[in-house]
Amino acid sequence: MIYSGTISDEQVEILINDVLEHHGYDFTGYSRASLKRRLARLYTMDKHVSFAEFRYKTLNDEIYFKQFVEGVTVNVTEMFRDPTFYSLLREKILPSLNTYPFIRIWLAGCSTGEEAYSIAIILQELNLLHKSLIYATDINPTVLEKAANGMFPLSQMKNYSENYIASGGKKDFSSYYTANYSLAKFAMELKSKMIFSTHNLVSDRSFNEFQLILCRNVLIYFDRPLQFRVFQLFDQSLEKLGYLALGTKETIDFSPISSSYKKVGTDKVWRKLG
């Protein structure tokens, strides 16, 4: 598909402005190259006949606007993505949280929930799930509904099972779900320790204190000033000696909070100093 040329830079700014003024969603701090591509993709996929029509619908059609937010934000995720990272969680980070009577984890930008279920599986295998709570949040209500359903395409299970084993999982991965037509439905027990809620990293505040915050492949879409603001938000939401986990290409280096954190291992995990 040739998207380039369908939406101009000026039109991107018009839409960002509209969406902020009419819907209260602030995309001004999003990196423009990716955002422009998402908008052009949406414009083409939804078969808009003109920019004016695209703009009108985004402004005035509440149902379409939901679709717009889902289309503009990236919701691609998988279970046990980056197995070495999950192996670090399993071997080091989660066991070290065992000393707490109660473990609170914030998964920011959880999308359709694959990471939340991956973490719950490890917690269960470490016998920590019963005293843990995973707060899974996203800007986008539609993906949270999917996350709460805990059903993922059966066609992905071979890949996820390989990731699980590569991350140090010893069990039969298929024991965690039941096949239901083309979907794999994950065990209710895993979901019992998850709370799903909308949270906008751009505009919402800290809502609790956590021992572990994960936010993987979300910050790559933000410009530097917005990244720094979100790091402050995480810092306010993280207990001393708590952990912050980012995506493989993301870093807190050069940010204002970096001096109060120490890197753990070779993956993108930092521990807040005491």
Q: Which is nearer to another protein, 102 or 254 (CB)?
A: 254
CB of 265 to another protein, least distance (A): 16
70/143 Cα distance (integer angstroms): 8
198/138 Cα distance (integer angstroms): 5
20/29 Cα distance (integer angstroms): 11
Taken in order 247, 250, 253, 255, the sign of the CA dihedral is negative
In sequence order, which residues have a C-beta less than 8 Å from that of residue 29 and are 6 or more positions away?
202, 222, 223, 225, 226, 229
Among 76, 205, 259, 274, binds another protein (CB under 8 A): 76
CB of 178 to another protein, least distance (A): 28
Interface positions, 106-165, toward another protein (CB under 8 A): none
74 counts as binding another protein under rule CB under 8 A: yes
CB of 86 to another protein, least distance (A): 14
Interface positions, 203-262, toward another protein (CB under 8 A): 217, 220-221, 224, 247, 249-250
1 counts as binding another protein under rule CB under 8 A: yes
* Tokens at 161, concatenated: 């099972």
Closest CA to 219 of 259, 243, 252: 252
| Dihedral pair phi/psi, residue 106, rounded to 5° | -115, 120
Interface positions, 17-46, toward another protein (CB under 8 A): 31-34, 36-38
Residue 219 DSSP label: G
CB of 133 to another protein, least distance (A): 27
7/36 Cα distance (integer angstroms): 7
Q: Which is nearer to another protein, 9 or 172 (CB)?
A: 9
Among 2, 52, 63, 188, binds another protein (CB under 8 A): 2
CB of 78 to another protein, least distance (A): 10
9 counts as binding another protein under rule CB under 8 A: yes
CB of 37 to another protein, least distance (A): 7
Q: What angle do CA 245, 109, 186 make, to 5 degrees?
A: 95
Interface ranges with another protein (CB under 8 A): 1-5, 9, 31-34, 36-38, 74, 76, 217, 220-221, 224, 247, 249-250
